[in-house]
Structure 1
């Protein structure tokens, strides 16, 4: 039996004898990804709760409240009487925003003057805040345009002229990708590989670090002296988590693409290849941390430090080009940043394969380098039996 096959068979026996280890590379990833897909299954946030603070008891103010409540993205959940109640509702997070209608609202409109409707919102909740601002601005703009057109019509202005005067300059936003601005399409699909990146790096650190902690590294590598043979043993050890984690990730992406209807504009095969390389580079990075530090505890800490913030630095949630130089350098060093670009290009943009090839080549090169570092660290560890058994 080859060294690779012997190492794979040994790892399989270990996983079968340790149900907790097996669960961490099989059922836990699958359930975690199912939970992610379920969280974002609604697609878009609807009926965000708001309160209304009206100081104008008039038909116009009541019409504005009805229009706010009729908007799919908003739900008027409370009427507050003063600033203190508005502040309390926001601080308790019972509502995400308070719409203030000032006194004299209707009187100003009847006189042909202007008035201001104020939205008080919690800008710390970025997504909620932006959605509230969009919907409230749209409702107030619609009401304002309607009042202006009615007033002009009473003055005898023709309908065609009214339409031009209401909006002499128009904006035409055109969404090229993710036209429905659905959070499931871009956020769930991006978080699945991000979670896989964390799990794979942890699995790589645990698989190798466990041998150091248990003092069994000599048993594992005793038939594999030398760098190349140690590399073969390492590949055999990482083969099972590689297969199970990649399968879990592809199952989640296939669910989003097939059952949820988010068709892939480019090539699913390239996404699958990129995901396989992301899992491989993550496993290799975890194994390299264990091989270089000769400590399971340090390897797991390093894996968490490197993989947990990967999504935040990927450019999906916060623009990559808007980051500081140091932050962007860190982001570019993370493999997930490049895989996220590959997935966006192929899934939503339908980019040509030539644009994806450099990312694939970079992930492959990083995997080979990290595997070489891990194997070198294990060769050194095999010669230091006094370090075995440390945590």
Structure 2
């Protein structure tokens, strides 16, 4: 049976040793302190506006009528759009699109006003770059809204002049309406939606990398015996591992919780769900990420392999997390890979609590399971280190 006192003594000694190493190696300390803090601040700053506004578009007006000028004013008055340029030819518009001076071009056809006055339909064309998915969808929405508003105004004005009652005109214009009710993130705030999801993904990469580096560094430098002690008994190995990984968990976990509080309460956002439970899940997620990196390093006994595995697991985590692309729309193989990644399960808890305001019962199970997996990974890492301690010939791998 493990000796609890021996484990605690080994934990304290390892924590002191690792703390001294971090003070002598400022870049190792930066990896778990100010570098993640700077990365989090950068992500927040990028999305701090909340909503993309004043996306530059161009207008090619071939009609030069009062209606075409009114449409241009409607486009310019839309908060999401900015009429940055007015073109005289399609060649100018094409060049501006290709060089990304504008993200879309509205083509107003010749004789637009004449066709409308004669009761014929007219078409306004939007050229946009669908490779820029977010830009394209927002521009399409706002241009459609501006054109629809102008079109409805023209039709209502014409019917009113013919003597139709205003109420009948409104019913005739829209006999069937769709009532769209936004349940979550009604303001479509990208800071709450995208930045809040990207920050844990960034910290996930750093946390697994920190776990791999902390353990792999001892194997690379052939200092395993100095760290684990001469006998490498089970309590000493387990305590030494916990003491070493305590620092990255405190550093990265502290940055993660600071970011969570800053993105919610600090920005005046008070989610309907539990910020506290989301913080618990985030702290466990950081521990799981660190333990996963440490386990890969101890298993492979190679720092290079462990860091490569870190990139393989964490780099695509956001893409497979179901935030940017629906999880259920992925092929079954991609869905299986997504469900094997820790980030997918954490981000679901965060979305349930922060965006959806779900009852706490919906999110209780995932952090508990993540904690259990973390304990199992730490036990497996300690076992692998104990075996490695008996085989010094395997140390020193890059």
TM-score by length of 1: 0.98
Once residues 231 and 243 of structure 2 are traced to their aligned partners in structure 1, the CA distance between those partners, rounded to angstroms, is 12
- In the TM superposition, residue 226 of structure 1 has moved relative to its aligned partner by 3.5
1:196 partnered with 2:234:
no
Residue among 116, 136, 147 paired with 2:143: 136
Residue among 354, 374, 382 paired with 1:375: 382
Q: What are the Cα deviations for residues 308-348 of structure 1, in whole angstroms up to 9, with x where unaligned?
A: 11111100111111111011111101111111000111112
For residues 294-305 of structure 1, the aligned pairs below 5 Å read: 294-305=301-312
Which residue number in structure 2 is paired with residue 216 of structure 1? 223
1:108 partnered with 2:122:
no
Q: 1:365 to 1:287 in 2, by over 3 A?
A: same
Once residues 329 and 81 of structure 1 are traced to their aligned partners in structure 2, the CA distance between those partners, rounded to angstroms, is 52
Unaligned runs of 5+ in 2: 1-7
Which residue number in structure 1 is paired with residue 283 of structure 2? 276
- Which secondary structure state, in structure 1, belongs to the residue aligned with residue 364 of structure 2? helix
Residue among 322, 334, 341 paired with 1:334: 341
Which residue number in structure 2 is paired with residue 70 of structure 1? 77
Which residue number in structure 1 is paired with residue 327 of structure 2? 320
For residues 36-75 of structure 1, the aligned pairs below 5 Å read: 36-75=43-82
Q: What are the Cα deviations for residues 161-186 of structure 1, in whole angstroms up to 9, with x where unaligned?
A: 11111111111111111110100111
Q: What are the Cα deviations for residues 20-67 of structure 1, in whole angstroms up to 9, with x where unaligned?
A: 101110111111111111111100000000011121121111111111
Contact between 1:56 and 1:102, CA under 8 Å: does it hold in 2?
Answer: yes
Residue among 287, 291, 304 paired with 2:294: 287
- In the TM superposition, residue 100 of structure 1 has moved relative to its aligned partner by 0.7
Q: What are the Cα deviations for residues 5-30 of structure 1, in whole angstroms up to 9, with x where unaligned?
A: 11111111111111110111011111
Which residue number in structure 2 is paired with residue 354 of structure 1? 361
- Which secondary structure state, in structure 2, belongs to the residue aligned with residue 134 of structure 1? helix
Contact between 1:53 and 1:98, CA under 8 Å: does it hold in 2?
Answer: yes
Once residues 27 and 62 of structure 2 are traced to their aligned partners in structure 1, the CA distance between those partners, rounded to angstroms, is 61
1:11 partnered with 2:18:
yes
- Which secondary structure state, in structure 2, belongs to the residue aligned with residue 51 of structure 1? strand
Contact between 1:71 and 1:135, CA under 8 Å: does it hold in 2?
Answer: yes
1:22 partnered with 2:16:
no
Once residues 105 and 87 of structure 2 are traced to their aligned partners in structure 1, the CA distance between those partners, rounded to angstroms, is 9
- Which secondary structure state, in structure 2, belongs to the residue aligned with residue 312 of structure 1? helix
Q: What are the Cα deviations for residues 162-212 of structure 1, in whole angstroms up to 9, with x where unaligned?
A: 111111111111111111010011111111111111110000000001101
For residues 116-135 of structure 1, the aligned pairs below 5 Å read: 116-135=123-142
For residues 215-294 of structure 1, the aligned pairs below 5 Å read: 215-223=222-230, 225-294=232-301
Contact between 2:257 and 2:283, CA under 8 Å: does it hold in 1?
Answer: no
Q: 1:224 to 1:14 in 2, by over 3 A?
A: farther
- In the TM superposition, residue 223 of structure 1 has moved relative to its aligned partner by 4.5
- In the TM superposition, residue 246 of structure 1 has moved relative to its aligned partner by 0.8
Range with greater deviation from structure 2 (353-362 or 274-283): 353-362
Once residues 98 and 80 of structure 1 are traced to their aligned partners in structure 2, the CA distance between those partners, rounded to angstroms, is 9
For residues 75-86 of structure 1, the aligned pairs below 5 Å read: 75-86=82-93
Unaligned runs of 5+ in 1: none
The root-mean-square deviation of aligned C-alpha atoms, in Å, is: 1.2
Once residues 268 and 196 of structure 2 are traced to their aligned partners in structure 1, the CA distance between those partners, rounded to angstroms, is 12
- Which secondary structure state, in structure 2, belongs to the residue aligned with residue 50 of structure 1? strand
Range with greater deviation from structure 2 (1-10 or 237-246): 1-10
Contact between 1:205 and 1:296, CA under 8 Å: does it hold in 2?
Answer: yes
Once residues 212 and 160 of structure 1 are traced to their aligned partners in structure 2, the CA distance between those partners, rounded to angstroms, is 80
Which residue number in structure 1 is paired with residue 4 of structure 2? none
Once residues 380 and 86 of structure 1 are traced to their aligned partners in structure 2, the CA distance between those partners, rounded to angstroms, is 67
Contact between 2:32 and 2:251, CA under 8 Å: does it hold in 1?
Answer: yes
Contact between 2:229 and 2:236, CA under 8 Å: does it hold in 1?
Answer: no
Once residues 86 and 295 of structure 1 are traced to their aligned partners in structure 2, the CA distance between those partners, rounded to angstroms, is 55
- Which secondary structure state, in structure 2, belongs to the residue aligned with residue 311 of structure 1? helix
